[in-house]
Every structure is written in C-alpha cells, then in structure tokens.
C-alpha cells in the first residue's frame, strides 16, 4: 500500500506527540512522588527557617504567625523545650482555655473524648519523632527529617521535620500528613492524565493542519512532475513561499518551460525532417514516374523517327516526294517529342512546388482573346466556331500560369470538338469574390468515372484518336498542378451536349 507524504508526515507528528505525552506520563508515574516529597521537604525547611527567624522564646508573640503558617501549608507545628515540655502545639491552639490568662503554662482546657484522643496521638508522635531524629544531622544542619505512622491507622503517617530553635534550647516539630500529600498527588496525576489526553488530541489536530499545509506544495510539485512525465507542460507550481520548497517549485516551473521549449523544438525538427523525407520520397517517386512515363511516351516517336531514318538510309524513298515525306514525319515526331518533354518538365516543376506565383490583377477578357488568337490556326483548320462571351471580370492571379490554364483548356477543346463544332469561353464572378473561368466544347459526353480520370498524367479517353490529334495526355495534369499552386480548384462536367472545363480562383486573402 502506497502512503502519501501527507500521511507519513501526519503519522510522524502523531508518533512524536504520543512519545512526548508518554514521556510526561512516565515521568509523572516514576518520579513525581519523589519530586513531590522533595518539594514538601523544602517547604518544611522554609517553615523551619521562618519560625527560627521570628521566635525569640516568647510563644504568645508568634502564635498568630504559627496558626497562619499551619493553615497556609497544611502542617501541624509543635515547639518543645529541651526537657520535652510542650511550649506550643497546633492541636491545643485550636482549643478554648477554661480559665487563665495565657494559652500555655498551667492553663486548663475542657476537651471531649475525640479531642483527648487527638492530643494523645499528637503527644505520642512528637515523642516518637524526637526519639527517631538523627542527632548527628540535627547538630550539623540544625534540622532533620523523620517519617512516622499513626498507631491507629497504618496508612495515616506524617512527614516530619525536627529543628533546633531559640539557640538550640528548644525544638520545632513540623508535621505534614501523608494523606494530604497523597491526595494532592492523586489530584495532580488525574489532572495530568486529562491534560495529556487533551494535549494529545490538540497535537493531532495541529499535526493534521500542519501536515496539510506543509505537504500541499509538495503534492502540487508532485502533480506538476507527473504531468511533465506525460509531456503535459500546462500545469505550473503556483506557490509563492520563499523557503526551499518554494525554490523547488519555481525550479520545477523553469525546468518545465525549458523541457517544453526543447521538446517543441525537437518536435519541429522531427516534423521538418519527416517533411523533408516525404519530399525526398515524393521527388524520387516523381523522378521514377517521369522516367517511366517519358520512356513510354517517347517510345512511339523514337520508333517512327528510327524507322523513317532507316528508310532514308536504305534508299526506300526513291523519289524526292517520298524523301520529303520521310523528312517531314521525322521533323513532326521530333517536335512532338520536344513538346512532350517540355510539358513533362513543366509539370514536374509545378508538382515539386518550384513555381512561385507572381500575383497581379488581370483582365479575363484579355486572357481569352490572346488564347483564341494563338490557337486560330488549329480551330480554323477544323472549321470550328469560337465564341467569346464578353466579360469585364478581373482576377488577381499569376498571368503565365493562368494563361497556361486557358491555353490547355482551349487546345483540348479544339482537339476533341468535332469539325465545325462550337467552342465557348466565358467567366463568372462568384458571390464570395472568387472567379470561375470555363471553356465548353461541343462533343460527346464522358462517363462520370472518365471525368475523374482525365486529370491523371498520360490518361487518354481514346488513345488512338489522341495520338492522331497530337495530344500528349498531360495537359489537364498541368492544369491540376497549377490549381494546387494557386490554391484554386478545377473540374469538368457534361453540359448542354458537350463538356465544360472550369477553373475556380478563390478571392484574394485580403478580401
């Protein structure tokens, strides 16, 4: 079972409090009686010194002081002469004399049986104390201690002090009952036990509060460290103490910030490296694809050139007209190869992102007009009708790339529209500020799956017809790459007895 630091800290405080209270109880149990006896002996010694200091042989002058001492200290005092005659006794001092002018010296008292018993017991104790006193200590220190027991009750005894007074001619006997001492000791022990229990409870409560207050920042620091271990750096130590724990918390915060920065930088480096690896893999794949496609597409024109060149070398063309045809074919195929290679290179540059758009404001009508002019030889040779829908739409884009899109759409339309067919160029301003350019040509509709595949490189709907018409199969792929470069979109759809190719340019970023 895992114990928290708060539990351990609280347990340590509880154990310390219990040990402390136990030590107090043990001291009280084993040493309190001896200590209490020592203190009572000191008190009796103090009484002896006071009486010795104020007694000059005249009992009557100190009777009131002696009674006050007896009442305050709970002792019984007696003064005996050297010949053991009573000069003063606390029991007699409490009686009223029958006749006479003084308390002592021939005064008679009326006593009952109980009082007579007390006087007899007091007299017996005084004589026992004087008989048991250490004479040598009494001579050296002027006083000594003696313990006595009651003749009637074994458990009723006295702690007594015997001391010389009035120049050593008389004796002071001070007696303190053990029952009084035992009663005080019992009360004190009981009070100490109650106080110890309350003290222990208070210590437990204070220990709980202290452990909670002291361990709260440590627990918070532990939570922050756990979050850091899970790479979660959002938690921070929020304490503001100036001690070592506060310094530790602030160090943890600083470490968290540094780790977050270091791991973030490492993550960015890893992402950049992964992106570079993907880019390299993409370039390698495109390079392999370029080689494969180039080999495939150039195979036919190379074979034609090789065949016709071999025919010229062997003299197959035996007249000038045939030789001119052979040379013309070789030149056409060489031009086709050159066009194909240039388009493939352009497409590769677009796909690699090596074309940086140069954005300017353009007149769409001018782009359409220029494209129609450049392709006039093609569409006029097929007797096609070019319709240019007048427009005042302006667009912010790259002029060369957008011109390439219009040219590719238009040459594709001329290539696949029937002889004498219609071709329409138009543009529209979208509600969000974007612009859509479109080229529609009359002709056969394409299946929906074909409309998706025509954007793939070297894909032809009719390979024989495409080669006859001079198509390379990558014109629309170039349009798609240009759309990605300009963050635009492109597509084709069957419409009104023909096919419409559209190119949508988004609104400028600044609106």
Helix (H/G/I), strand (E/B), else coil: 491: strand
Let me know: does 12 contact 130? Beta carbons within 8 Å: no
Let me know: does 450 contact 476? Beta carbons within 8 Å: no
Measured distance CA(508)–CA(498) in Å, rounded = 32
pTM of the predicted structure, to 2 decimals: 0.43
DSSP 190-222: HHHHHHHHHHHHHHHHHHHHHHHHHHHHHHHHH
Measured distance CA(478)–CA(349) in Å, rounded = 10
Measured distance CA(333)–CA(402) in Å, rounded = 28
Indicate if the pLDDT at residue 46 is higher than 90.
yes
Distances from the Cα of 420 to the Cαs of 195, 331, 361, 411, in angstroms? 119, 29, 35, 15
pLDDT at 466: 47
Nearest to 397, CA basis, from 350, 363, 372: 363
First to last CA, the chain: 65
pLDDT digits (tens, 9 = 90+) for 54-91: 988 888 888 888 888 888 888 889 888 888 788 888 77
Looking at the DSSP bridge assignments, the partners of residue 505 are 435
Give the chain's domains with CATH numbers: 5-187 (3.30.450), 236-354 (1.10.287.130), 358-511 (3.30.565.10)
Which one-letter DSSP state was computed for residue 4?
P
Structure token digits, residue 299: 């195979």
Let me know: does 489 contact 358? Beta carbons within 8 Å: no
Residue 435: Cβ within 10 Å count: 23
Sheet containing 170-177: order of strands: 86-89, 76-81, 170-177, 157-165, 143-149
pLDDT digits (tens, 9 = 90+) for 131-174: 888 888 888 888 999 988 765 555 567 889 999 998 888 999 89
Work out whether the CA dihedral 353, 356, 359, 364 comes out positive or negative: negative
What confidence tier does 95 reach under pLDDT thresholds 50, 70, 90?
low
What confidence tier does 419 reach under pLDDT thresholds 50, 70, 90?
very high
pLDDT at 356: 74
pLDDT at 180: 65
Residue 446: Cβ within 10 Å count: 17
pLDDT at 181: 65
pLDDT digits (tens, 9 = 90+) for 249-303: 888 888 888 888 888 888 888 999 998 898 788 777 766 766 666 665 666 677 7
Indicate if the pLDDT at residue 94 is higher than 90.
no
Which residues, 6+ apart, have CB-to-CB distance to 134 below 8 Å?
A: 144, 146
């Amino acid at each position: 079972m895992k114990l928290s630091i708060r539990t351990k800290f609280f347990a340590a405080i509880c154990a310390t409090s219990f040990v402390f209270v136990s030590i107090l109880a043990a001291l009280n149990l084993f040493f309190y009686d001896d200590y209490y006896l020592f203190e009572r002996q000191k008190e009796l010694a103090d009484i002896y010194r006071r009486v010795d200091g104020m007694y000059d042989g005249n009992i009557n002058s100190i009777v009131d002081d002696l009674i006050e001492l007896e009442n305050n200290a709970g002792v019984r005092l007696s003064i005996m002469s050297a010949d053991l005659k009573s000069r003063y006794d606390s029991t007699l001092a409490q009686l009223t004399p029958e006749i006479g002018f003084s308390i002592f010296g021939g005064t008679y008292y009326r006593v009952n049986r109980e009082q007579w018993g007390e006087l007899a017991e007091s007299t017996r104790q005084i004589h026992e104390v004087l008989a048991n006193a250490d004479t040598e200590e009494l001579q050296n220190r002027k006083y000594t201690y003696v313990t006595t027991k009651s003749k009637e009750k074994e458990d009723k005894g006295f702690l007594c002090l015997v001391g010389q007074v009035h120049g050593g001619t008389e004796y002071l006997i001070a007696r303190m009952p053990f029952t009084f001492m035992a009663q005080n000791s019992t009360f004190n022990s009981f009070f100490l036990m109650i106080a110890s229990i309350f003290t222990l409870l208070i210590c437990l409560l204070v220990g709980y509060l202290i452990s909670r207050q002291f361990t709260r920042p440590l627990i918070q620091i532990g939570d922050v460290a756990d979050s850091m271990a899970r790479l979660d750096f959002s938690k921070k130590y929020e304490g503001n103490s100036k001690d070592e724990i506060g310094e530790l918390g602030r160090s943890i915060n600083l470490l968290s910030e540094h780790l977050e920065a270091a791991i973030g930088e490492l993550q960015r480096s890893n992402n950049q490296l992964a992106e570079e690896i993907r880019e390299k893999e993409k370039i390698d794949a495109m390079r392999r694809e370029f080689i494969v496609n180039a080999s495939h597409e150039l195979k036919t024109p190379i074979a034609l050139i090789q065949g016709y060149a071999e025919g010229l070398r062997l003299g197959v063309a035996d007249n000038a007209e045939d030789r001119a045809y052979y040379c013309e074919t070789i030149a056409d195929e060489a031009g086709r190869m050159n066009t194909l290679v240039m388009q493939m290179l352009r497409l590769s540059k677009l796909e690699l992102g090596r074309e940086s758009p140069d954005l300017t404001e353009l007149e769409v009508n001018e782009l359409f007009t220029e494209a129609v002019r450049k392709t006039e030889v093609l569409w006029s040779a097929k007797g096609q009708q070019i319709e240019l829908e007048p427009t005042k739409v302006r667009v912010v884009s790259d002029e060369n790339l957008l011109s390439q899109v219009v040219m590719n759409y238009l040459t594709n339309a001329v290539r696949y529209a029937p002889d004498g067919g219609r071709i329409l160029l138009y543009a529209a301003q979208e509600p969000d500020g974007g612009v859509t350019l479109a080229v529609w040509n009359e002709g056969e509709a394409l299946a929906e799956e074909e409309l998706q595949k025509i954007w793939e490189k070297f894909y032809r709907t009719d390979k024989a017809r495409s080669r006859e018409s001079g198509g390379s199969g990558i014109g629309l792929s170039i349009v798609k790459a240009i759309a990605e470069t300009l963050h635009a979109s492109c597509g084709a759809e069957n419409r009104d007895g023909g096919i419409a190719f559209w190119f949508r340019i988004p609104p400028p970023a600044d609106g």
